[in-house]
C-alpha cells in the first residue's frame, strides 16, 4: 500500500534538461489552462504539480517543504494582529525554526567536523550524514521573506493556504530560484490569471536561450573544466587559466540558463518572476557585477541583513564589518565548505575599496549605452572585472583552500600545451561567440534573447537552428545544474 502511494514519485529526478520534464511540462500546461476560469483550482493544481515535481527527487523532502511553508504561513497570521513585542518574538521563533532546519541539514556536519578536527577528536560519532534536500536554501529564504515582510507591514498576511503553499513551492523556481518575494509573487496566486499569447511566446524564446546556455555552453565547458580541475598538476599554466575562464563561463551558462528556463516557464502560466541575471560579465567593476549576478540573492541579503545592520550609513569601521558579514554569509549560503567562506571574503576585499570611497554605485547604467561597441576604457574595465571574478570562481570551484592556492600558483607554471585540444572542445568556440554576441546585443533588454529579427523566416530559422544544436549536444547522461547542490 505504501509503495502504491509513493510510486508516483518513482519518476526520477526531474531536471529541466531531461525528457521527463519535456513530458511533464505540456501536461501541466494543458490542465492548468483548462481550469482558467477557476483560478483557485489552478492554484491547487499548481501546488500538486509542484509537489510531484519536487517529490521526484525524494518524496521525503515534501515533508520538509510542507513544514517550512506551514510555519511561515501560520507565523504571518499570528504576527499581523499581535502587539509589536509579541510579533517580534513570533517572527524570531519562525526564523529560528526555519534556519535551524537549514543548519541541521546543510551545516551541522560541517561545523561539527571542523570543531572536532580543531580539538583533535574523532568526528565520526557526532556526524549525522543527512541527505541535503535539493533547493532548501532557496525555498527557506523565500518563506522567511514573507514572515519578515508581514512583520514590517510591507505585505498583508494571506489566509489562502493553497495560494501560499503554491508561492513557496512553485515548481519552475523551486530548486534554484529566483528567490521571490511575497510582495510580487504571492498576489499573482491570489487573483485570476489570463493566458497571453505574446507573453507565452516570449517565455518559450527565453526558455530556448536558457537551454542553449545550459546544454551547449555550460555542459560543453564542463567536459574540459572537470578534466583539468580533476588533476591540475599535470597541466601547464595556460591550460589552468583556460580552465578557470571556461568555469566562469560554465557557471554563468548553467545558473543563468536555469533562471531563463524558470522565468520562461512561469510566463507560460501567466506568472512573472524577477530577473536573476543581467549580463554580469559586462560589468565595469565588482560592485556592478554583484548588482547583476544572482540578483534575487544579493538583494535578499541587502534588504534583510545589510540594511538592518545599518547599510552604508555607518562609521567606516562598522561599514567594513557590514560588508564582510554580507559576503561571508553569502559565501556560506552556497555550501558547507571553507572555500565558500574564502570566496565570500575574497569578494568582500574587492568590494571594500569601492564602498569606502563611495564609488560602488557609479555604474548603474548599461555599458556602451546607445553605442554598438564599448570604448577601450570600458573594455579594459570589463576584462579586469571578469579576471577578478574568475580568480574568485577558482576558489569557489576548489574542494579545499589548499587546492585553490596550488591551482592559482599553477597559473605561473610553464607547459607545452595550451589545452587538450579535441573536437569536443573546438565546437565550443562558435557557441561561446554566439552567446557573447547575442547577449551584448540584448544587454539593455528585458532578457538576453528578447530582441529578435523582424522578418519571420529569419526568426524561425534561428529557432530551428538552436533547437537542432541543443538536441545534438544533449548529453546521454543528464547533467544536473550546479546550483541544485545549494
List active site positions: 334
- Alpha helices in 357-455, H assignment, sequence order: 376-397, 401-409, 423-426, 428-441
Q: What is the DSSP string of 83-152?
A: -HHHHHHHHHHHHHHHHHHHIIIIIHHHHHHHHHHHHT--GGGT---PPPPTTHHHHHHHHHHHHHHHHH
Show Cβ contacts of residue 119 under 8 Å, excluding neighbours closer than 6 positions: none
First to last CA, the chain: 34
CA-based R_g, the chain, Å: 23
18 near 478, Cβ under 8 Å? yes
Cβ-count burial of 136 within 10 angstroms (0-12 exposed, 13-18 middle, 19+ buried)?
Answer: buried
For residue 473, give Cα distances in angstroms to 42, 218, 344, 459: 35, 11, 34, 21
**Rounded Cα–Cα distance for residues 43 and 191 (Å):** 10
Three-state SS for 483? helix
Tell me the C-alpha distance between 89 and 103, whole Å.
Answer: 20
Nine-digit cell at 331? 559565501
Three-class DSSP category at 464: helix
Q: Is the dihedral of CA 237, 257, 50, 74 positive or negative?
A: positive
CA–CA separation, 304 and 326 (whole Å) = 10
CB 323 within 8 A of CB 351: yes
Where helices occur in 190-281 by DSSP H, the ranges are: 197-211, 219-230, 237-268
Amino acid at each position: 500500500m505504501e509503495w502504491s502511494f509513493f510510486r508516483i514519485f518513482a519518476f526520477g529526478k526531474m531536471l529541466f534538461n531531461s525528457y521527463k520534464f519535456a513530458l511533464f511540462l505540456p501536461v501541466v500546461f494543458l490542465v492548468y489552462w483548462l481550469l482558467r476560469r477557476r483560478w483557485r483550482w489552478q492554484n491547487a493544481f499548481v501546488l500538486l504539480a509542484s509537489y510531484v515535481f519536487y517529490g521526484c527527487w525524494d518524496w521525503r523532502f515534501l515533508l520538509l517543504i510542507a513544514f517550512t511553508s506551514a510555519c511561515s504561513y501560520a507565523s504571518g497570521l499570528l504576527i499581523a494582529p499581535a502587539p509589536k513585542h509579541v510579533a517580534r518574538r513570533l517572527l524570531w521563533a519562525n526564523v529560528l525554526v526555519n534556519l535551524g532546519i537549514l543548519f541541521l541539514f546543510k551545516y551541522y556536519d560541517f561545523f561539527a567536523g571542523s570543531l572536532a578536527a580543531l580539538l583533535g577528536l574523532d568526528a565520526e560519532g557526532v556526524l549525522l550524514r543527512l541527505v541535503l534536500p535539493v533547493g532548501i536554501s532557496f525555498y527557506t529564504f523565500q518563506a522567511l521573506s514573507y514572515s519578515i515582510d508581514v512583520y514590517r507591514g510591507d505585505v498583508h498576511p494571506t489566509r489562502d493556504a493553497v495560494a501560499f503553499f503554491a508561492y513557496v513551492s512553485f515548481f519552475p523556481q523551486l530548486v534554484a530560484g529566483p528567490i521571490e518575494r511575497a510582495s510580487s509573487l504571492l498576489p499573482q496566486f491570489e487573483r485570476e490569471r489570463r493566458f497571453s499569447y505574446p507573453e507565452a511566446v516570449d517565455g518559450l524564446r527565453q526558455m530556448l536561450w536558457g537551454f542553449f546556455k545550459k546544454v551547449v555552453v555550460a555542459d560543453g565547458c564542463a567536459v574540459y573544466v572537470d578534466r583539468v580541475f580533476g588533476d591540475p598538476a599535470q597541466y601547464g599554466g595556460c591550460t589552468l587559466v583556460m580552465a578557470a575562464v571556461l568555469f566562469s563561463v560554465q557557471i554563468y551558462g548553467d545558473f543563468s540558463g536555469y533562471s531563463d528556463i524558470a522565468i520562461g516557464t512561469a510566463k507560460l502560466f501567466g506568472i512573472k518572476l524577477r530577473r536573476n541575471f543581467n549580463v554580469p560579465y559586462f560589468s565595469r567593476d565588482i560592485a556592478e557585477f554583484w548588482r547583476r549576478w544572482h540578483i534575487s540573492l544579493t538583494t535578499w541579503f541587502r534588504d534583510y541583513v545589510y540594511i538592518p545592520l545599518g547599510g552604508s550609513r555607518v562609521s567606516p569601521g562598522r561599514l567594513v564589518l557590514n560588508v564582510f558579514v554580507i559576503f561571508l554569509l553569502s559565501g556560506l549560503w552556497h555550501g558547507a565548505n571553507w572555500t565558500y567562506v574564502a570566496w565570500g571574503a575574497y569578494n568582500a576585499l574587492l568590494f571594500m575599496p569601492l564602498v569606502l570611497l563611495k564609488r560602488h554605485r557609479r555604474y548603474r547604467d548599461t555599458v556602451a549605452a546607445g553605442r554598438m561597441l564599448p570604448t577601450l576604457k570600458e573594455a579594459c574595465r570589463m576584462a579586469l572585472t571578469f579576471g577578478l571574478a574568475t580568480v574568485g570562481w577558482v576558489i569557489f570551484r576548489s574542494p579545499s583552500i589548499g587546492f585553490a592556492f596550488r591551482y592559482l600558483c599553477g597559473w605561473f607554471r610553464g607547459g607545452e600545451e595550451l589545452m587538450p585540444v579535441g573536437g569536443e572542445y573546438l565546437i565550443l568556440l562558435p557557441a561561446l561567440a554566439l552567446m557573447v554576441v547575442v547577449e551584448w546585443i540584448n544587454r539593455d533588454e528585458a532578457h538576453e534573447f528578447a530582441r529578435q529579427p523582424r522578418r519571420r523566416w529569419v526568426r524561425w530559422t534561428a529557432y530551428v537552428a538552436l533547437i537542432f544544436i541543443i538536441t545534438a549536444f544533449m548529453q546521454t547522461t543528464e547533467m544536473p545544474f550546479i546550483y541544485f547542490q545549494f
